[in-house]
C-alpha cells in the first residue's frame, strides 16, 4: 500500500538525535518503495537535514530519492490549485504549502499519510471526514514522551 510522506518522519528517520528516530526509521525502511514523497517535501527535507543534521545527511537523502528508494511524485497545476484552496480555507492555522500539498495529493489519490504533525492534520480535515494517518498520536507520544 502506498503511503504519502510528510517531512517530519523523514527528517526524524535521518536524525539519530530526534526522539522519534527509531519509530520513523523503522517506518521509512518498512515502507521503502511504497513511500511516496512529493517534490515540495524533498525540498523541505533537504533544507532541514542540512540545517539540523549535516550536509552529508541532506546529500544522502537526495541520493536515496534519486536512486529510487522511494517513489517521487510531482505536483500538477490542479494539485497546486487545490493546495492553495486548502491553505486559504485554513489560513488561520498557518498550514503552508507543503502541508496543503500533502492534503491535496492525499485527497486526490486516497492515500494514508505518514506524519507527526497531528495538530494540523486534525484541525484541517478533508471534506469527507478525516485523514488516514499511518501513526496515531498515542503511538507517537508513547515513543517520544
Q: How many CB atoms lie within 10 A of CB 117?
A: 17
Q: How many CB atoms lie within 10 A of CB 108?
A: 12
Query: What CATH number labels 3-139?
Result: 3.40.50.1010
Task: Please tell me what DSSP assigns to residue 124.
Answer: S
Residue 65 C-alpha cell reads as 530519492
What Cα–Cα distance (Å) separates residue 76 from each residue in 6, 80, 83, 94? 18, 6, 10, 22
pLDDT tens, per residue, the chain with 145 residues: 899 999 999 999 999 999 999 999 999 999 999 999 999 999 999 999 999 999 999 999 999 999 999 999 999 999 999 999 999 999 999 999 999 999 999 999 999 999 999 999 999 999 889 999 999 999 999 999 9
Q: Which helix (H) or strand (E) holds 80?
A: helix 77-89
- Determine whether 93 is exposed, middle or buried from the number of CB atoms within 10 Å of its CB (0-12, 13-18, 19+): middle
DSSP codes joined into one string, 109-144: HT--EE-S-HHHHHHS--TTS---BSS-HHHHHHHH
pTM to 2 decimals?
0.95
Amino acid at each position: 500500500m502506498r503511503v504519502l510522506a510528510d517531512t517530519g518522519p523523514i527528517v526524524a528517520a535521518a536524525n539519530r538525535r530526534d526522539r522519534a528516530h527509531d519509530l520513523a526509521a523503522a517506518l521509512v525502511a518498512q515502507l521503502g518503495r511504497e513511500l511516496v514523497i512529493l517534490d515540495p517535501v524533498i525540498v523541505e527535507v533537504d533544507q532541514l537535514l542540512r540545517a539540523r543534521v549535516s550536509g552529508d545527511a541532506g546529500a544522502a537523502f537526495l541520493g536515496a530519492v534519486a536512486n529510487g528508494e522511494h517513489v517521487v511524485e510531482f505536483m500538477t497545476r490542479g494539485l497546486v490549485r487545490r493546495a492553495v484552496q486548502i491553505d486559504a480555507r485554513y489560513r488561520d492555522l498557518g498550514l503552508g504549502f507543503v502541508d496543503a500539498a500533502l492534503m491535496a495529493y492525499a485527497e486526490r489519490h486516497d492515500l494514508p499519510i505518514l506524519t507527526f504533525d497531528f495538530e494540523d492534520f486534525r484541525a484541517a480535515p478533508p471534506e469527507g471526514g478525516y485523514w488516514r494517518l499511518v501513526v496515531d498520536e498515542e503511538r507517537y507520544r508513547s515513543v517520544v514522551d
